[in-house]
Structure 1
């Protein structure tokens, strides 16, 4: 007898981190319900979630799939605001809307709402986001504080779930608004077509295409960015990425393993050669 995925989902931390290999907590719960996944894939949940899943599904307890990561302390994202270029990539990636900012404006993490999912790190083009360890057992920190760790855990999961739900609803509203605006624009364009382009009460497709192409060309002219401005933007991004690579190499050289140190030394050697050739 399979257990409903909703019951399984309630035991998960709701970080939506995808470290289990699925696109969120509910898809992982659905895979568990179908018997297609192991119970030890949730890194944020650790042994507590594994034990609960084993009890609910009546299966054997397993060690965490990623024992190294499971042993690490909880951590939240921190943005180096002096290096942030305001690209909004991290904002779009955050599943719980825990990052504030706007295009070409400095971004910052709402630390109390961060679930530690790490999804904001990979999209950052200048590598200005790091994970900072915290003493919390469960994330996010914005939850009802209790003396019982078990209750604390589910309060954190509830908070993360609410943030994820609100974000999903917001994106759906924006998508509906966008579709409504597109539909209204098409109706307006259709109503302004001269009667000569209509035949037997039907719109002339050729006239519609010609009108749309003319409008697109006009918009392209107005939106065209001067070549020198586009070049300047690319230079700024390239400079920020180079600085990020240098910081990453220096960090790996100091704290990395043997392979990372070797790669960092090679990167710094090539970096030095490039700088000398430009002088």
Structure 2
């Protein structure tokens, strides 16, 4: 990373939200240092970051690229724990490890560590994650103590970046361990396949064929149970998705725009017809 991009990166909020169109704050800073990106793409940073970037890069101040989004209050993710199916999709998407949970177990958001990036919403298969507005001007809320209010911005960015770097290191460590295990298995397989000192005449082809057939039959029997489990899991996910769509339609019918209300009414009618036909 060049010196220029490092200076730029320090001005960004480090939420890693990708709303600028890049895969994080550092790639956006690098694009700015090369003159390949506009200074008004950071939605979480808003006018403050735009102004500082303009001063640093000696370019004119621009209005936010998404003014409506920039004017909205900061918000953190909240999981409807009663509807969560424990798929871990949101955990994998969170760039700052602010979601706790395990496979088939309820997930919850660490509210003080959430950076409000919204990356967990789209991958959720049952639409059980929403954004809750908060009063803070900068996220995450677990920022380091700042002596002055104007320093809260950089304290929050430092906290978010520390969480992001910790997650990156953890994923790299897990990937390294996975590669080591794979290499060990490959070596074991290679050793097992190494020809022994036995002569070709001592090998019994019929016995080898019988052993291979028995192993194939065992594997086929073992696969039946996971197949049934996968089918059951798919049914559960489909049921949860249908419930999520019903809740969303009811919400739009009550609080949505005219178009959303019309679409929700059409969906609910079709839903009622399908339910009646199944009875």
The alignment's TM-score, normalised by the length of structure 2, stands at 0.89
Q: Which residue of 2 aligns with 1:41?
A: 41
Distance in 1 (alpha carbons) for counterparts of 2:119 and 2:272:
32
Q: Which residue of 1 aligns with 2:105?
A: 105
**3-state SS of the aligned residue for 1:132?**
strand
The 5 Å alignment of 1:212-227 reads 221-225=221-225, 227=227
**3-state SS of the aligned residue for 2:132?**
strand
Distance in 1 (alpha carbons) for counterparts of 2:254 and 2:24:
34
The 5 Å alignment of 1:225-244 reads 225=225, 227-244=227-244
Change (3 A) 1:218 1:29: farther
Distance in 2 (alpha carbons) for counterparts of 1:56 and 1:215:
67
Q: Which residue of 2 aligns with 1:27?
A: 27
Distance in 2 (alpha carbons) for counterparts of 1:85 and 1:117:
22
- Between the two proteins, the alignment pairs up a number of residues equal to 267
The alignment's TM-score, normalised by the length of structure 1, stands at 0.89
Change (3 A) 1:180 1:227: closer
Distance in 2 (alpha carbons) for counterparts of 1:126 and 1:39:
36
Q: Which residue of 1 aligns with 2:206?
A: none
Larger Rg: 2
Cα deviations across residues 166-220 of structure 1 (Å, max 9, x unaligned)?
000000000000000111111112112252499xxxxxxxxxxxxx9x9898666
Q: Which residue of 1 aligns with 2:273?
A: 273
Change (3 A) 1:197 1:136: farther
CA contact 1:3–1:33 (8 Å) conserved in 2: no
RMSD: 2.5
Change (3 A) 1:68 1:220: farther
Q: Which residue of 2 aligns with 1:155?
A: 155
Distance in 2 (alpha carbons) for counterparts of 1:217 and 1:63:
67
Residue 123 (structure 1) shift: 0.2
Distance in 2 (alpha carbons) for counterparts of 1:252 and 1:63:
31
CA contact 1:113–1:140 (8 Å) conserved in 2: yes
What stretches of structure 2 of length at least 5 have no aligned partner? 199-211
CA contact 1:3–1:57 (8 Å) conserved in 2: no
Change (3 A) 1:179 1:229: closer
Deviates more, 1:87-96 or 1:30-39: 30-39
**3-state SS of the aligned residue for 1:225?**
helix
